[in-house]
Amino acid sequence: MATLQQYREQRPHWSYSALNQFFNICSLQYYFDKVEKLPKAFTPASLAFGSAYHRVMEWVALSRMQGHQVKPQEAADLFQDLWGRQVEEDGDIKYDDETDAETSAKLGRDMITCAVSGFDPEEEVVSVSEAFCVPLRDSTGVTLERPLLGEYDCVVRKAGQVKIVDWKTSGKKWPKAKAGKDWQPTAFLMAYSLMRGVVPGFRFDVVTKTKTPALESHETSRTENDFMRFVHLVKLADSMINAGHFAPSEQGFYCGGCPHQTACKTWHVAKTRTVVRMAA
Ligand code: SF4
């Protein structure tokens, strides 16, 4: 079985996060990242923090799969260590006004302690960080040019029921409807059903970045109709990208943490010059 990185290197592809960036974050940011492949001016603190958090959760889940129940303190210590390395590796992390490397280390320790303390001992870990690559077919049976790639954080089983679990960190509690609307369960459940012929359950395990972190589980499910709609969205994104339709989403929430703010400021100038030249 290939790793996510190996799948990524094999051919152009779609991922849930790319589609989410294109439609829900900012299609111009997608353009700078995925088409122009501009270097990022900085690493958003949330991205660096999420990486360290995921690495610890991955280690905890692998340990559980091998029959070792990790103590919260052990996992918190690992976070401290990995966070230190993450800060050194990234070097250019951009924090918000209220956080820095030290406060993030404490927060991460508390969040990992919260996550590990909340594990269900009756849940068996079936796989950890399992990558997938599946073809996308529309309702007429036509296979899209780019396959869908992704990686399940963790697959668990309890009382014979299989469930994909995705680990998330969040500044605040999720609204109740969020899991039902998110495209990640749609992408992941569709991939799983294409690979194994069954649609399992799906759960987000969200730990809040609050003074006293809280663990919330958000269960959700999807149907064939959701899968068809997802593929249709991918087709739409393909046609918009081929036509060069990228637009800034400057009234959204994402500009402050966007690493392409400089390129964005002058994007329209280059566009205007091109249009004027064409008109001349
Ligand atoms: S700064 Fe805002 S509008 Fe510009 S690319 Fe980034 S997210 Fe999009």
Give the Å distance between the CA of 88 and the centre of ligand 1: 27
Half-sphere exposure of 162 (CA within 13 A, CB side): 13
How far apart CA 58 and CA 128 sit, in angstroms, is 7
Decide: 29 in ligand 1 pocket, CB within 6 A: yes
- Closest residue to atom 7 of ligand 1, CA basis: 255
Say what the pLDDT of residue 278 is: 56
Q: Which residues pair with 211 in a beta bridge?
A: none
Say what the pLDDT of residue 8 is: 93
If one residue of 22, 46, 258 were mutated to test the ligand 1 pocket, choosing by the most ligand atoms within 8 A of its CB, it would be: 258
Decide: 254 in ligand 1 pocket, CB within 6 A: yes
The atom number, within ligand 1, closest to the CA of 260 reads: 6
The atom number, within ligand 1, closest to the CA of 248 reads: 3
Note the pLDDT tens digit of each residue in 247-261: 999 998 899 889 999
Give the Å distance between the CA of 32 and the centre of ligand 1: 9
Q: How confident is the prediction for the chain on average, in pLDDT?
A: 94
Give the Å distance between the CA of 258 and the centre of ligand 1: 6
Say what the pLDDT of residue 97 is: 79
Say what the pLDDT of residue 235 is: 97
Among 123, 31, 48, 32, smallest CA distance to 90 is for 48
Give the Å distance between the CA of 83 and the centre of ligand 1: 28
Note the pLDDT tens digit of each residue in 51-98: 999 999 999 999 999 999 999 999 999 999 999 999 999 989 999 878
Say what the pLDDT of residue 78 is: 98
If one residue of 36, 255, 271 were mutated to test the ligand 1 pocket, choosing by the most ligand atoms within 8 A of its CB, it would be: 255
On the question of pLDDT at 272 being above 70, the answer is no
Note the pLDDT tens digit of each residue in 153-180: 999 999 999 999 999 999 999 999 999 9
Say what the pLDDT of residue 275 is: 55
Among 157, 156, 139, 138, smallest CA distance to 148 is for 138
- Block residue for tokens 């070792």: 68
How far apart CA 115 and CA 119 sit, in angstroms, is 7
Decide: 261 in ligand 1 pocket, CB within 6 A: yes
Say what the pLDDT of residue 121 is: 92
Say what the pLDDT of residue 277 is: 59
Say what the pLDDT of residue 12 is: 93
Note the pLDDT tens digit of each residue in 180-223: 999 999 999 999 999 999 999 999 999 999 999 999 999 999 99
Q: Give the 3-state DSSP-derived string for the chain, with helices as H, strands as E and coil as C.
A: CCCHHHHHHHCCCEEHHHHHHHHHHCHHHHHHHHHCCCCCCCEEHHHHHHHHHHHHHHHHHHHHHCCCCCCHHHHHHHHHHHHHHHHHHHCCEECCCCCCHHHHHHHHHHHHHHHHHCCCCCCEEEEEEEEEEECCECCCCCECCCCEEEEEEEEEEECCEEEEEEEEEECCCCCCCHHHHCHHHHHHHHHHHHHHCCCCEEEEEEEECCCCCCEEEEEECCCHHHHHHHHHHHHHHHHHHHCCCCCCCCCCCCHHHCCCHHHHHHHHHHHHHHHHHHHC
Among 116, 118, 105, 4, smallest CA distance to 61 is for 116
Say what the pLDDT of residue 274 is: 58
184 contacts 190 by C-beta, under 8 angstroms: no
